[in-house]
Amino acid sequence: MESEEIGKEGNDMGKKTIIPFGPQHPVLPEPVHIDLVVEDETVVEAIPSIGFIHRGLEKLVEKRDYTQMVYVIERICGICSFGHGWGAASAIEGAMNVKVPERAEYLRTILHELSRLHSHLLWLGLLADAFGFESLFMHCWRIRETILDILEKTTGGRVIFSICKVGGLRKDIDNETLREISETLEGIKAELKDITTVFIEDDSVKNRLCGVGVLSKEDAIELCAVGPVARGSGVGQDMRMTDNHGVYKDLDFEPVVEEAGDCYARCKVRIGEVFQSIELIKKAVDKIPDGPVDVPVKGNVEGEYMVRLEQPRGEAYYYAKGAGTKFLQRMRVRTPTNMNIPALVKILQGCDLADVPMMVLTIDPCISCTER
């Protein structure tokens, strides 16, 4: 009788339970819902659900002309906004055979790397907050404020910049200001080194990240992971290296790659890219030529063109198609989080329930980009 009761109790403990994660959770700045199928504190399946903030921005091609669509696409996300504006403008420029001045390409590259800095520092702050390191969180965001101040000074905005347009940029950034930016970034490197050392060397951080959420190189390739998620698994893929876009070919760019494939590796990739972005900006400032920052654009979009751009979270895809009118027939955007959700589902399978927040955070999902 006693053995029968023990057996019955064991069967009950082995039952699967569905635990909802999100759409509201302390580690989620945006709403995403994941149904976690759990058995004995182990996740055996993860079922994501998105669509809570779908806005239908791509549908606006029916009501907004191609110049206005650059504004619309830029407003997909407040973190990646410059990259979205650049990608949309570049796709339209390609369809219209518009050649952007070289100085504008340099300035676009500089502004894009500043956006990468602010995005990665925001993410490091959120990671520290998830650990409970409130002081580290505040230090990350304090330095991020310096980057936002630079963006505000040069573009007039801290979140949405609206400086990119079809044909180049709306305003120039003088060489003296560019040198000041370079000096400011050089000045914060020591502080960044102190802060990022905590993420890399602190034992409590390693205990939460090392060996957690491992995504093999083979799985990263098969699941088409992009950005720091892919590079953290040993996949040396970066659109700044492979696409003839911006001026990265003149800046001796090489991607930051880690081999371990765990949460710690993804964290190290982003830290490496923070320092790399500073060096890329300094090189661009040293090499930037004089000249105009825009060209006159006449006519309408006829034909189609696509652009791939390396956003802070990975490869983003922009497609524009027109039929000779001021309204586009189609503007399609595929964002990095779209590509990284399958990788997230993969690493969640077999993990401890307590590790789920860290895994979701190291994927760095941007739901505004995903749902548009």
Looking at the structure of the chain, the number of domains it has is 1
What pLDDT was estimated at residue 10? 44
**Of 62-76, 142-156, 355-369, where does the model show the most confidence?**
142-156
Enumerate the β-bridge partners of residue 42: 39, 352
Q: Is residue 42 part of a domain?
A: no
What pLDDT was estimated at residue 25? 67
Q: Is residue 5 part of a domain?
A: no
- 291-300 pLDDT, tens digit per residue, is 999 999 998 9
Binned at pLDDT 50, 70 and 90, residue 1 comes out as very low
What's the per-residue H, E or C state across the chain? CHHHHHHHHHHHHCCCEEEEECCCCCCCCCCCEEEEEEECCEEEEEEEECCCCCCCHHHHHHCCCHHHHHHHHHCCCCCCHHHHHHHHHHHHHHHHCCCCCHHHHHHHHHHHHHHHHHHHHHHHHHHHHHHCCHHHHHHHHHHHHHHHHHHHHHHCCCCCCCCEECCEECCCCCHHHHHHHHHHHHHHHHHHHHHHHHHHHCHHHHHHHCCCCCCCHHHHHHCCCCHHHHHCCCCCCCHHHHCCCCCHHHCCCCCCCCCCCCHHHHHHHHHHHHHHHHHHHHHHHHHCCCCCCECCCCCCCEEEEEEEEEECCEEEEEEEEEECCCCEEEEEEECHHHHHHHHHHHHHCCCEHHHHHHHHHHHCCCHHHHHC
What does the block give as tokens for 138?
């505040």
pLDDT at 211 over 80: yes
Q: Is residue 43 part of a domain?
A: no
Q: CA torsion, points 152, 106, 240, 252, in degrees to nearest 10?
A: -120
- 247-268 pLDDT, tens digit per residue, is 888 898 899 999 998 999 999 9
- Mean pLDDT within 67-86: 88
What pLDDT was estimated at residue 352? 86
302-311/17-21 β-pairing: unpaired
Binned at pLDDT 50, 70 and 90, residue 14 comes out as low
What pLDDT was estimated at residue 3? 41
What pLDDT was estimated at residue 120? 94
Binned at pLDDT 50, 70 and 90, residue 304 comes out as very high
Q: Is residue 219 part of a domain?
A: yes
| 282 CB-side CA count, 13 A | 13
What pLDDT was estimated at residue 8? 43
Neighbours of 155 (CB within 10 A): 20
pLDDT at 27 over 70: no
Report the percent of the chain where pLDDT is more than 90.
49
What pLDDT was estimated at residue 243? 62
Structural domain of 89: 55-363
pLDDT at 95 over 70: yes
Mean of per-residue pLDDT scores for the chain: 87
- Mean pLDDT within 174-196: 93
What pLDDT was estimated at residue 46? 83
pLDDT at 69 over 60: yes
Determine which of 26-35, 46-55, 201-210, 333-342 has the lowest per-residue pLDDT on average.
26-35
- Mean pLDDT within 143-147: 94
As a whole number of angstroms, the distance between CA 179 and CA 80 comes to 24
Q: Is residue 197 part of a domain?
A: yes
Q: Is residue 372 part of a domain?
A: no
Binned at pLDDT 50, 70 and 90, residue 305 comes out as very high
Q: Is residue 276 part of a domain?
A: yes
pLDDT at 118 over 70: yes
Q: Is residue 66 part of a domain?
A: yes
Binned at pLDDT 50, 70 and 90, residue 54 comes out as confident
- Mean pLDDT within 147-152: 94
Residue 111: which CATH number? 1.10.645.10
Phi, psi of 319 (to 5 degrees): -130, 130
Residues 27 and 360: beta-carbon distance below 8 Å: yes
